[in-house]
Homo-oligomer: A and B are copies of this chain.
């Protein structure tokens, strides 16, 4: 039996959802506690380094469950993997009435404090993008796409999905995702066949 999520895990998942909806700057430890129903004290207990720690874990959390789902979908090949990846994001956007999005993108586009080291959440976002790209690129290579094209195509897929989620939210419609899905599928099929 799968163990039920701990309070800590619930806070991280809630933070990921909030950051995907509102962005990093509008997400506070206090708001996350309220949002997840966790006692405020527990958030400070679990995340002594504050918001950047929570944001970093939220980004990793999103990275990991998406990677698990992508890895599973890729077992049936790159086109199935692409479809699975797009379906995950389509569900998040549509089921939330176009209000939820990707916390990895959100963290990437908010300027870090000046004169600071790379903030941990931003570094985590870069790692997550790399993980998703690697999974897609490995699958493309296994199916005969030469390494350079496989790597570039996987970057295109991740970028297109991230951008399209934002376009769907602006337009309050899943049409951009469906249009991009059709094009990416044709592109992946052509790359495999060559």
Q: Which of A19-27, A35-43, A49-57, A71-79 contacts B (4 or more CB under 8 A)?
A: A19-27
CB pair B129 A171 closer than 8 Å: yes
- Which residues of B sit under 8 angstroms from A95, Cβ to Cβ? none
- Complex partner residue of A161 from B102, B149, B163, B187, CB under 8 angstroms: B163
Complex: A179 Cα to B157 Cα, angstroms = 11
- Which residues of B sit under 8 angstroms from A20, Cβ to Cβ? 109
Q: A23-B109, A106-B109, A187-B187 are in contact. Are A156 and B179 (CB under 8 A)?
A: yes
- A6 on the B face (CB < 8 A): no
- Which residues of B sit under 8 angstroms from A69, Cβ to Cβ? none
CB pair A111 B22 closer than 8 Å: yes
Give a binary string over A91-131; 1 marks a CB under 8 Å from any B CB, 0 the rest. 00000000101101111111110000010001001100110
Distance in Å from the Cβ of A94 to the closest Cβ of chain B?
15
Chain B residue with Cβ nearest A171: B126
Q: How many copies does the complex hold?
A: 2
- Complex partner residue of A159 from B24, B109, B176, CB under 8 angstroms: B176
- A172 on the B face (CB < 8 A): yes
Q: A23-B24, A172-B118, A180-B156 are in contact. Are A167 and B129 (CB under 8 A)?
A: yes
Given contacts A20-B109, A159-B166, A163-B164, 19 further A-B contacts (CB under 8 A): A21-B111, A22-B110, A23-B24, A23-B26, A23-B106, A26-B110, A105-B109, A109-B109, A118-B172, A126-B167, A126-B171, A130-B171, A151-B179, A152-B179, A152-B180, A155-B164, A155-B183, A159-B162, A159-B163
Subset of 21 A-B contacts with CB under 8 Å: A22-B25, A23-B23, A25-B25, A99-B112, A101-B109, A102-B109, A105-B166, A109-B165, A129-B167, A151-B179, A152-B180, A155-B180, A159-B160, A159-B161, A159-B164, A159-B167, A160-B160, A162-B162, A162-B163, A163-B164, A187-B187
